[in-house]
Structure 1
Amino acid sequence: MQTPDDWQALGAAGGVLGGIATAIASAVWAFRKVWRNDRVADAEAAGAVGSFDQLYKLLDDKDDTIKDLRDALKTANQRADDAFKERNEAVKEQGAQQVRVETLTDQVRLLQDRVRALEAQIAQLMDVLKHAQHS
């Protein structure tokens, strides 16, 4: 059975791998786009250098995006950790409350049994008093 920590680890790994895959796919797509633009325009050497500059700029932008995604993932993981801690504390508190309720229920049952026993004793004493008065 997977625990919340396992899910968190899988989510973190999936997020990082997804971000890396997105960056690679975007870089390939951008490089292909730049390459086609250069081929279609029959770019000169200066144009090719400009294309590489564009590619570097796109890669830098993707690096910034990846950093932002990692920061967002880190924040989301922290929030999930906090939520799991709160949930675990609530479950512990609920368990403690259930123990208290069960203890009080047992005490009430004991008191009810004691009241019944006292009522029975009072009834016996009343019978004894009635017989004593008639005699």
Structure 2
Amino acid sequence: MVPLRGRLGEYASPEKGELTGPDPADRGKYDSEFFRDAWIGGTGIEFTDTRINLNRADLSGLPPTLVSWGTYEVLAGEDEEFAARVKDAGIDTTTVVVPGGQHSYVYGAGRIPETDAAIAQIGAWVREKTKI
């Protein structure tokens, strides 16, 4: 088992309502580094360890896999890379990319048409693969 630790980061100044931290153009890189440190910093576990980094793991033998992300997801690049690696491993792979979707985009269900469309696609995929 991999010990993980976490903490919350603030990007907004409550007094001014402004973003703080890195330039927004670098936000994804900053966020990835921030969260990596929050999860494994000080544990002695390298980010390349396949127990926590599926983009470095052997993916052969996976069942049919659906990978979904929003285009504004901080991990969108890693999601896309993972989907490509799964496909390259010969696994039946489906991707559902949500335009403008953020992390946990499913919370927009019932309010955001792109979210509803993605959920419908995912549901259809599950029904097809499980023969429900």
Q: TM-score range by the shorter chain?
A: under 0.3
User: Whose relative contact order is higher, 1 or 2, with alpha carbons under 8 Å and at least 6 apart?
Assistant: 1
Structure ranking higher in helix proportion: 1
Q: Kindly name which structure, 1 or 2, has the bigger radius of gyration based on alpha carbons.
A: 1
Alignment TM-score, normalising by the size of structure 2: 0.24
From the two aligned structures, give the one with the greater strand fraction. Answer: 2
